[in-house]
Structure 1
């Protein structure tokens, strides 16, 4: 039985899909345009099956039997805002893991160690953009903890994780991960920063969780983001979902939020032919990164070179 708020009699021009959830070209364009206009993310034609599967699952849960009926519900129906948030969670939560890009995290740690080595530097702030369920943000916290611990004197750090998905952020704050999530995490890090729970999962220790804050953020609204003066911005596997012109726009916004001497790390191949007047590419063949100019360090040419 079709639910009242997704009943075809309420929303005209619906197309029955009782024999399946196959999507024609016009429907795909309609949904792709909606997703891009609201989140900036674009779906290639090759990802039509991904869109069909996720929309179809949600439509069955609601009792909708057509893409048009569900589209009208998202646009104009009761609870449209809540339903859109639910759908975004289905479409944007990405699979991730701890220490996903080891070389990038090594570069971030080297940068943190350099900052902590300066006599006037006591605090380092990092930002994980598109943090999903928290693995990247907590990995940053782990390496910053190690860098702070090896520096002379008292050193502090903080990490901000942002994502568009509220469901993913709730999981990140809970900081509990099953064995599959930890299969590639070296034993050293598991023993040092996780505690085992009775159900077989592991949870980030409170001392590290207290250093990490999570916030919902739509990348299209970066100009309103409260994050400023960041020493490290980690934005990997995010830009691939955006058009090239928007990738450059996002990178420019992130550059504005770097502190002097700050480090911006992107995913390999996510951005080409981009320059910023205040940033210099980091000489590392395995990591795509830029460093904002720092008057105290402009001549340190060996920084970030792979060994």
Structure 2
């Protein structure tokens, strides 16, 4: 007589249940992700990896992790499949004005930089790991509020590894629930209602933004410099500490004198740079690039 549990196990398999991922298989995928993106997937995120792989494998009719690994890493279609998969593995949560304290500092610093800036200066801002664009548009709203009425130009560039979220970011369309953290004054000024109960960022603000696929491991291939603000929150936590230092060093070199680097609180507590001064705060992790007189402020 068959075991009743076998019957239910078979029924679950029929509905597309994926087998549990063995430790060796997890390590295989963990190493691949780190090798190609630099992101280190912690052991406690094994269930996330298993779920993400499982969804894609079911779409392909595959039920073996190692077979799918071979598909991703070999053959002419491996690169295409990796692109599809990495989009799903690297997308991070974001929202408008996610860190109000950091955003307030950015606004005040922009206002301070304007006081000594020549009229032809452009304030260029970079958002690393921008996901679906909420952070980019938050920074653009601040810049527009601080700079436009004074005649200063500005731009905000958002980068991410996922081409899928970058396409969404360029559209600048969000369901109304996504606007919950957006101050009402900004919503009224920078958003318009569109179809399907969504809102879209106005074209005048979208035109000041640019979105680009960038791997944080290959910043040397990203020709951007002279930045007034670099916003890099909730990205470094996915990298090993030595990689975090490399990324921060590369970003620091792209700041103008008086520019600021904003990181997540606790993401890199022991990092120092000879040309940067850390802001004294227990709520913020922000560094200011020294000017020629070793003073903080705009050039």
TM-score normalized by the length of structure 2 = 0.91
CA shift, 1:78, in A, is 3.4
Q: Is the 8 A contact 2:255 2:289 kept in 1?
A: yes
In 1: Cα distance, 2:217 partner to 2:295 partner? 35
For 2:200, the equivalent position in structure 1 comes to: 203
> What is the aligned residue count?
281
In 2: Cα distance, 1:102 partner to 1:119 partner? 26
For 2:138, the equivalent position in structure 1 comes to: 139
Instruction: Report the RMSD for the aligned CA atoms in angstroms.
Output: 1.4
Query: Aligned to 2:204, what secondary structure does the other structure show?
Result: helix
For 1:275, the equivalent position in structure 2 comes to: 272
CA shift, 1:119, in A, is 4.4
Query: Aligned to 1:21, what secondary structure does the other structure show?
Result: coil
Where does structure 2 lack aligned partners over 5 or more consecutive residues?
A: 1-15
For 1:260, the equivalent position in structure 2 comes to: 257
Q: Is the 8 A contact 1:116 1:123 kept in 2?
A: no
1:243-300 C-alpha deviation (Å, 9 max, x unpaired): 111111111111111112110000111001111111110123311010111126x345
Within 5 Å, which residues of 2 pair with 1:162-241? 162-241=159-238
For 2:106, the equivalent position in structure 1 comes to: 108
Within 5 Å, which residues of 2 pair with 1:114-129? 114-121=112-119, 122-129=121-128
In 1: Cα distance, 2:75 partner to 2:262 partner? 41
CA shift, 1:170, in A, is 0.1
Q: Is 1:71 aligned to 2:69, yes or no?
A: yes
For 1:50, the equivalent position in structure 2 comes to: 48
In 2: Cα distance, 1:251 partner to 1:244 partner? 11
For 1:8, the equivalent position in structure 2 comes to: none
1:222-247 C-alpha deviation (Å, 9 max, x unpaired): 12211111110000000000111111
For 1:148, the equivalent position in structure 2 comes to: 147
In 1: Cα distance, 2:93 partner to 2:79 partner? 25
In 2: Cα distance, 1:43 partner to 1:78 partner? 27
TM-score normalized by the length of structure 1 = 0.88
1:96-118 C-alpha deviation (Å, 9 max, x unpaired): 10000011111111111112222
In 1: Cα distance, 2:213 partner to 2:53 partner? 23
CA shift, 1:19, in A, is 6.0
For 1:85, the equivalent position in structure 2 comes to: 83
Q: Is the 8 A contact 1:232 1:262 kept in 2?
A: yes
Where does structure 1 lack aligned partners over 5 or more consecutive residues?
A: 1-17
Query: Aligned to 1:81, what secondary structure does the other structure show?
Result: helix
